Amino acid sequence: MVQTRSGRELGLDELPIKKRRLETEIDRTTGSTYPPADWTPVYDYVDQFCTTAKVLVGPKQTSFTVSIALLSRVSPVFKAALGTDWTNNGSKPLELKEDDPFIFAVFLDWAHSGRFMVMQPNKGNEPDRPTLSSLCKLYIFADCRQIRALQNDVIAVIYHERDQLHELPLETLSRIFAELPEDAKLRQLVVDSWAYYAGEDKITDDLCAWVPSLVADIARIMLRNVNRWGYSFASGTFYMVDIGDDFLHSWRHSKI
Where a domain ends, among 77, 98, 119? Answer: 98
pLDDT computed for residue 55 by the predictor: 94
Q: Are residue 77 and residue 139 in the same domain, yes or no?
A: no
Q: Are residue 192 and residue 226 in the same domain, yes or no?
A: yes
Q: Are residue 255 and residue 189 in the same domain, yes or no?
A: yes
The domain tally of the chain equals 2
Which segments in the chain show pLDDT lower than 50?
1-34, 88, 228-229, 243-256
pLDDT computed for residue 230 by the predictor: 54
pLDDT computed for residue 231 by the predictor: 57
In a domain, 2, yes or no: no
In a domain, 73, yes or no: yes
pTM for the model: 0.69
In a domain, 20, yes or no: no
pLDDT computed for residue 253 by the predictor: 35
In a domain, 18, yes or no: no
Q: Are residue 141 and residue 252 in the same domain, yes or no?
A: yes
pLDDT in tens, 210-229: 999 888 888 877 666 555 44
In a domain, 10, yes or no: no
Please provide the DSSP assignment of the chain as one string: ------HHHHTGGG--TTTPPPPPEE-TTT--EES-TTPPPHHHHHHTTT-EEEEEETTTTEEEEEEHHHHHHH-HHHHHHHTSHHHHTSSS-EEETTS-HHHHHHHHHHHHHS--PPP----TTS-SS--HHHHHHHHHHHHHTT-HHHHHHHHHHHHHTGGGGGGS-HHHHHHHHHHS-TT-HHHHHHHHHHHHH--GGG--HHHHHH-HHHHHHHHHHHHTT--TTT--PPPGGGGS--S-HHHHHHHHT---
Domain that holds residue 44: 25-98
Where a domain ends, among 67, 98, 129? Answer: 98
In a domain, 87, yes or no: yes
In a domain, 8, yes or no: no
In a domain, 171, yes or no: yes
